[in-house]
Amino acid sequence: MKGTKGVRYVLLLAVVLSAPIVQAQGSDTEAASASSAPNAKEIRVANRLLRKAVLRTLSRTKGLNVDRVVVVAKGGAILLEGYVPENNQIDLATSAAQAVPGVATVTNRLIVRAEGH
């Protein structure tokens, strides 16, 4: 029993002593990444997340049919393309997309086309 308590104390001491080192390394990494420009992969991830956020908002907007709407995101600029069944849905889609955090501009190329055509 005394042997396992000794091992526990040694492990606990090792964890406690290593915690400040891990924190210091994390803050150095954060400072380095904050000062550098995003790479291509980070830009793609940001665009994908923004696109998903806009699609989520559009799909939750009452009175808007997004079955045939495509969203493209590029650096805060949103492009809406596709078809909606009624004219009022074009403006509704634009205003809903503009309300998403991170969206700088919205280009709306939606076309009115009755469903089934």
Name the pLDDT band for 114 (thresholds 50, 70, 90). confident
Q: What pLDDT, in 10s, does the model give residues 46-89?
A: 999 999 999 999 999 999 999 999 999 999 999 999 999 999 99
Helix (H) / strand (E) containing 112: strand 105-112
CATH at 52: 3.30.1340.30
Residues 76 and 103 in one domain: yes
Q: Which of 26-30, 34-38, 103-107 has the highest mean pLDDT?
A: 103-107
Assess whether 15 and 61 both reside in one domain.
Answer: no
Q: What angle do CA 60, 66, 72 make, to 5 degrees?
A: 100
Domain identity same for 69 and 102: yes
Residues 57, 32, single domain; the answer is no
C-alpha to C-alpha distance for 2 and 23, rounded to whole angstroms:
32
Q: What is the pTM of this model?
A: 0.66
Tell me whether residue 117 is in a domain.
no
How far apart are alpha carbons 41 and 36 in whole angstroms? 14
Domain of residue 79: give its range: 40-112
Instruction: Based on the fold, state whether residues 79 and 101 are members of the same structural domain.
Output: yes
pLDDT of residue 37: 87
Q: Calculate the alpha carbon distances from 116 to 58, 67, 79, 85 in Å.
A: 21, 12, 24, 10
Both 3 and 55 in a single domain? no
